[in-house]
Amino acid sequence: MRKFGPKEVDHPSVGKECPACRKPFVVGDYTTLVPLGPGGNEKERQRCAAGRPYNAVACEIHWDCADTR
């Protein structure tokens, strides 16, 4: 996983809810992206099914909410 941050005041996700802990993202937070899969994009679905790299739909969560063992 890649660690992003710290969040700045003008970041678009500041104030939005973290889906893992339900607390809002605030200025200074570190976050990561959790890939969910290829989503509805047919080209990306085909690439995924073929075992090739693809662009995934992802969910942003707090760094501390991620299992980073």
User: Residue 30: which residues within 8 A CB-CB, separation 6 or more?
Assistant: 3, 4, 5, 6, 7, 62, 63, 64
Along the 69 residues of the chain, how does pLDDT read in single tens digits? Answer: 899 999 999 999 999 999 999 999 999 999 999 999 999 999 999 999 999 999 999 999 999 999 867
Containing domain of residue 50, as a range? 1-69
Q: How many domains does one find in the chain? A: 1
* pTM of this structure: 0.84
